Each structure stands twice: as C-alpha cells, then as structure tokens.
Amino acid sequence: MTSLRVGAATDVGRRRHNNEDSMLVADRLFVVADGMGGHVGGEVASQIAVAAMGEAFTAGGTVDDLVAAVRTANQAILARADADPSLRNMGTTATATALVDSAEGEVLAVAHVGDSRAYLFRDGHLSQITDDHSVPQELLRAGQLTEAEAAVDPRRNQITRVLGLGDPDPDLQTVVPYVGDRLLLCSDGLTNEVSDAIIAEVLATVADAQEAADRLVAMANDNGGGDNITVILVDVVDDDERAERASESLAAMGGLDREAPHRLLSADERNARLRDLARDDRTDDPWTDAPATAGAAGTVRSLEPSEVDVPARRITARVVVFVLALALVLGGAAAAVGWYARGAYFVGVDRGRVTIFQGRPGGLLWFDPTVAERTDIAESQLRPADVPDLERGKEEPSLGAARDYVRLLRERVAGGDVGASGAGDRGSPEATTTTAAS
Ligand code: MN
C-alpha cells in the first residue's frame, strides 16, 4: 500500500483582503484551487470546486473518476453562477492529485486546469509537471513567444482554461510514486514570489512536509506576498517496495547507493567511491607488479570499500578489486543510462499517425526510440495547438500516461470534428439546467 504524508498551508498574503484560494486535503485527494471573478466570486468558485471534488471522488477511484470529479466541480460552479447573477463571471483553477488504482498499481494522477501548478521533486531534482494555461504560456508552447518574452508578458494573469466556463478540458498525467518523491501543488501566489531554484532548495532541506509547506508560504510573504498563497506538499513515505524492486538489478551491479535504493550515484559520489577503492594503491604501480597468488583471490569476494581497506595481501588483491570495481561501476553507469533512456515514453508522429514511442525524443546516446504502439489518429486531424508538442515528442512517464494522452487527443479530435455530436454531448447539462429552472 502506498502511503503519503502531507503538509498544507494557505495564506491571504500581504496585499489582498480575502483569500480566494481554497484547498482540500482528504484521504487520497489533494486539490489547490485559485478562484477569480467579481466581488466574492473567486472565493465562492474555489470553495465550490474543492467541495464538489471532495464529494465526487471517493477512495478506490481511478484516473477517470478524478477527471469526472473535475467535470462535476465545473458543473457545480456553472449551476451556482446561473442561480446568482452576482457570481456570473466566477471561475477557478484546479490542480488536483489523487492516489488512484491503475494497471500499474497505485499511481498519483494529476488533473489540472489553469495556472496553479504541480511539481515533482525526485532525486534532488524539481520539475514542473503541469503546463500553465495562461495566454503567454500557450503562445510559448505554440512557438510564438520566447521563454524570456513569456516571462515578462503582461497577459500572465489571463487564464485560458478555468472551471466555471464551458468545457474545462483538464490536462492529465500520472506519476508512479517512489519513496522519497515529493509532489508539490501550489497557487501562483507561491510561484510568482519564489523561484523554482529556491523551492527546490526548501524541498531538499526541510524534511517535514508541514514545515516545508509553512516555510514556502512564509518565503512568498517575505518576498512581497502579492497574492493569496496555497501550498500542498504530498510526500511518498511508502511505495510498497516498488523502488526496491525496480532497482534490484541495478543494485547488483553496484551502480546504486544502497541507502537510497532507487537513487543513482552522482558523478562525484562515484568518483569518491573510486578514490576510496584506489586510495592505497596510489604509491604502487598496479599494472606492472603482479605476484599473483591463490590466496589473494580469496579477498576478491566483495566490493565493499571497507573490505578493500584491509591492509593484508596488498597489491594483487587491490588491483583486481580496483579493476573489477571500475568495470562494475562503468557497467552500472551504462545500465543506468539505458534504464533512463528506455524508461520513458513519448507521443509523437510516425508515417502521419500519432504514435507512442518508448525512449526519449531524438534518442539518447546509442538508445534510439522504438515504436511502442501505433494509433489511427492522423496528424491532420489534430488541433493545431497540439501539433508542436507532438512534433517535439510529448514525453510521458509511463505507457499508461502516454495512452491517457492519446485518449485525450482522440477526445479532442472527436469533439472538434463532429459539431453535431459535440453539441449533443453538451445537451445533458442543459437538461439539468432545465430541470433546475422548472
Ligand atoms: Mn492567484
């Protein structure tokens, strides 16, 4: 069973009078919502969103259930805005993660609409895993703005997708949880004030999830607190030994640190380990002096540095251990590169069709991507906005995630292509509205 530890904090900030952010910390569901619109609209919208999602999503849910919960929240906001004209333009972002059951076991699904964010902190590295649905970021992805232009674009606050306006169309992805992973959900009140590098430093140094969440909020306030700030930090504290299983083969090769089984050694650590192994040989010339004895071979049974340090039967044993260790470390590194190169999937285009590849876009060293699955979606059917992503290769952490993305593309194709059926789909909410009005 995957188990999580969670820290969460929300704060009005230094400039605003009320907190329009809302958050939900439930058993297996975590949501950050940043409301907007009107006088009290923002507050109401974000509160409705988290309440509706909390009710709609129950334990044992799947990725689809999470998406359904997002849509339910959207309907709830629309219904409320319909009933109260003063709330007509309200909306909210929603970045939600849920521990869901999938074919790959329990995974963290992330559904996202708007410009709140989810980050994954893994192995000391922070990566933003959601795209901001804001005007400059959409233009950046379409290749019409540079990163530098997007960063200072005044339209940063114009959100292109929200709950409470038409079809929310959430982005969706899954993260296979490993012990030590930290998933951060936050509103833009944090990311406008605190850089990714500083966030990473806090996550690397503050072990307690609640303490880390409080620290991030305090930093945003110290830097100005221009907006409401909300932070949820989800720590994976038990992954059902997934990490250990995944790394067994690598650990056997000596390429892994045994204390953190899924963590690869850094270059410095590898060098330090090699230096330890080589230390006592420095004054000898290991390549010429070889009085091999049968006894020496007995020493070569372990690669533990402590054993190598035993001063008896010097040269030969040490030379053999050193060379073996070097070979194993290099072998481990090669295996690790292969594991990294082949450990991901991406969605691209091959022979005019959307195709799932295993590997990294463009390949890595001698590992070329291979076709994992072909689909019947033609490139010409795609929304223009999706094409650049696919031409670059849309990276996904797993085959399941790649399939989810393809499914999303397929929905978009179906939605955009057939106007009549699209309108028909939207008929059911209308029916609901009619019932409510009568
Ligand atoms: Mn905000």
Say if residue 86's pLDDT is above 80. yes
CA–centroid distance, 116 to ligand 1, in Å, is 8
Taking Cα atoms as reference points, which of 183, 31, 34, 25 lies closest to residue 118? Answer: 183
CA–centroid distance, 226 to ligand 1, in Å, is 9
Taking Cα atoms as reference points, which of 108, 111, 94, 123 lies closest to residue 186? Answer: 94
Q: How high is the pLDDT of residue 269?
A: 58
CA–centroid distance, 189 to ligand 1, in Å, is 5
* Per-residue pLDDT tens digits for 347-383: 998 888 899 988 888 887 777 788 888 888 888 888 8
Q: Is the dihedral of CA 176, 177, 181, 184 positive or negative?
A: positive
CA–centroid distance, 76 to ligand 1, in Å, is 21
* Per-residue pLDDT tens digits for 95-132: 999 999 998 899 999 999 999 999 999 999 999 999 99
Residue with tokens 């849910």: 61
Q: How high is the pLDDT of residue 408?
A: 85
Instruction: Report which of residues 406 and 337 the model is more confident about.
Output: 406
Q: How high is the pLDDT of residue 297?
A: 36
Q: How high is the pLDDT of residue 295?
A: 37
CA–centroid distance, 227 to ligand 1, in Å, is 6
- DSSP-assigned letters across all residues of 76-116: HHHHHHHH-GGGTT-EE-EEEEEEEEETTEEEEEEEEESS-
Q: How high is the pLDDT of residue 435?
A: 33
CA–centroid distance, 237 to ligand 1, in Å, is 30
Q: pLDDT band for position 251 (50/70/90)? A: low
For residues 371 and 349, what is the distance between their CA atoms, to the nearest angstrom?
10
Say if residue 426's pLDDT is above 60. no
Q: pLDDT band for position 167 (50/70/90)? A: confident
Q: How high is the pLDDT of residue 266?
A: 55
Range from 173-182, 334-343, 427-436 that averages highest in pLDDT: 173-182
CA–centroid distance, 162 to ligand 1, in Å, is 13
CA–centroid distance, 192 to ligand 1, in Å, is 9
CA–centroid distance, 93 to ligand 1, in Å, is 9
- DSSP-assigned letters across all residues of 363-413: -BTTB--EEEEEEEEEGGGS-GGGHHHHHH-EEESSHHHHHHHHHHHHHHH
CA–centroid distance, 7 to ligand 1, in Å, is 20
Over the chain, what is the mean pLDDT?
81
Say if residue 267's pLDDT is above 60. no
Q: How high is the pLDDT of residue 71?
A: 96
CA–centroid distance, 203 to ligand 1, in Å, is 22
Q: pLDDT band for position 298 (50/70/90)? A: very low
CA–centroid distance, 35 to ligand 1, in Å, is 7
Say if residue 81's pLDDT is above 90. yes
CA–centroid distance, 133 to ligand 1, in Å, is 13
Say if residue 255's pLDDT is above 80. no
CA–centroid distance, 30 to ligand 1, in Å, is 17
Taking Cα atoms as reference points, which of 54, 76, 34 lies closest to residue 185? Answer: 34
Q: Is 12 helix (H, G, I), strand (E, B) or coil?
A: coil
Q: Which stretch of 231-240, 397-406, 421-430 has the lowest confidence by average pLDDT?
A: 421-430
Q: How high is the pLDDT of residue 117?
A: 98
For residues 407 and 62, what is the distance between their CA atoms, to the nearest angstrom?
15
* Per-residue pLDDT tens digits for 387-424: 888 888 888 888 888 888 888 888 887 765 433 333 33
CA–centroid distance, 429 to ligand 1, in Å, is 29
CA–centroid distance, 414 to ligand 1, in Å, is 33
Q: How high is the pLDDT of residue 437?
A: 33
Which tokens in the block code for residue 70? 């997002």
Instruction: Report which of residues 96 and 317 the model is more confident about.
Output: 96
DSSP strands (E only) in 103-186: 105-113, 117-122, 125-128, 171-175, 182-186
Considering the entire predicted model, what is its pTM? Answer: 0.59
Q: pLDDT band for position 262 (50/70/90)? A: very low
Q: How high is the pLDDT of residue 333?
A: 79
Q: Is 405 exposed, middle or buried (0-12, 13-18, 19+ CB in 10 A)?
A: buried
* Per-residue pLDDT tens digits for 16-63: 999 999 999 998 999 999 999 877 899 999 999 999 999 999 878 999
CA–centroid distance, 48 to ligand 1, in Å, is 16
CA–centroid distance, 98 to ligand 1, in Å, is 22
CA–centroid distance, 221 to ligand 1, in Å, is 13
CA–centroid distance, 152 to ligand 1, in Å, is 17
The interaxial angle of helices 209-222 and 196-205, nearest 10 deg, is 150
Q: pLDDT band for position 307 (50/70/90)? A: very low
Q: How high is the pLDDT of residue 100?
A: 96
CA–centroid distance, 115 to ligand 1, in Å, is 8
